Amino acid sequence: GQNIDQPTEMTATEGAIVQINCTYQTSGFNGLFWYQQHAGEAPTFLSYNVLDGLEEKGRFSSFLSRSKGYSYLLLKELQMKDSASYLCAVRLNTGKLIFGQGTTLQVKP
Amino acid sequence: DAMVIQNPRYQVTQFGKPVTLSCSQTLNHNVMYWYQQKSSQAPKLLFHYYDKDFNNEADTPDNFQSRRPNTSFCFLDIRSPGLGDAAMYLCATSRDAGNGYTFGSGTRLTVV
């Protein structure tokens, strides 16, 4: 079976740094995606990792360790608009994308 | 701008009354996906089309059907909606099966 785990909720302060972890156990692996989803809206692409290491994209960075089945999304200089759900998704060798349940991040002033 | 468009944005239907949700894309992507997302849950893949080939997930209820008349359009038909089918339905596309997805804005379905 496929299993992707993320914390359900996190809270952080405006201007701070927050790390959202994701662990996965899947039958096959062909990349890991992070999506941002505001309430009532569709997911939007944030980052993609297929090799081990850190990918940086402005205020957002994502890390992958395939041997540990682990990824994290790092958000720097938090803004109020970053309050959203963050979905970790694993792409299987078939191309299918399997999602975690998402982490709801609340940014407080 | 090239994009994935879902209509309508909000749909209310009666219990047991067939309903169709639509998705169109201008990206010329050959793969189209339908996901169901219930409140505070992960999006769950219902089925996908690879070109004209239909691929159903094993646990997708028979109540859900899909049609893809051409590359640009894909429809989700719910034959007899139940209260448990109330959810956000997300359409996504990709170029081949090994690339990133582009999502539509979703259709939020309410069953009354």
pLDDT of residue A95: 80
Handedness of CA A27, A29, B87, A37 (dihedral sign): positive
CB contact under 8 A, B106 and A44: no
From the list B40, B41, B101, the residue facing A97 with the nearest CB is B101
Q: For residues B40 and B17, what is the distance between their CA atoms, to the nearest angstrom? A: 26
Q: Is the pLDDT of residue A29 over 70?
A: yes
pLDDT of residue B41: 87
Distance from CA of A16 to the nearest CA of B (A): 25
Q: In terms of CA atoms, which chain A residue is nearest residue B48?
A: A96
Q: Is the pLDDT of residue B38 over 70?
A: yes
Q: What is the dihedral of CA B97, B104, B1, A97, to 10 degrees?
A: -20
pLDDT band at A93 (very low <50, low <70, confident <90, very high): confident
- Residue B71 burial by Cβ neighbours in a 10 Å radius (0-12, 13-18, 19+): middle
Average pLDDT over residues B7-34: 95
* Residue among A38, A96, A105 with most chain B CBs within 10 A, to mutate: A96
**DSSP for A34-95?**
EEEE-TTS--EEEEEESSSEEEEETTEEEEEETTTTEEEEEE-S--GGG-EEEEEEEE-TTS
Q: Is A40 on the interface with B (CB under 8 A)?
A: yes
CB contact under 8 A, A101 and B101: no
Q: For residues B97 and A30, what is the distance between their CA atoms, to the nearest angstrom? A: 11
Mean pLDDT of chain A, nearest integer: 94
A69 torsion bin: left (phi>0), alpha (psi -120 to 50), beta (else): left
Q: For residue A27, count other CB atoms closer than 10 A to its CB.
A: 10
Q: B85: helix, coil or strand?
A: helix
CB pairs under 8 A between A and B: 49
Per-residue pLDDT reduced to its tens digit, B82-106:
999 999 999 999 987 656 789 999 9
| Stretch 67-96 of chain A: residues touching chain B, C-beta under 8 Å | 87, 91, 94-96
Average pLDDT over residues B17-38: 95
Q: For residue B65, count other CB atoms closer than 10 A to its CB.
A: 17
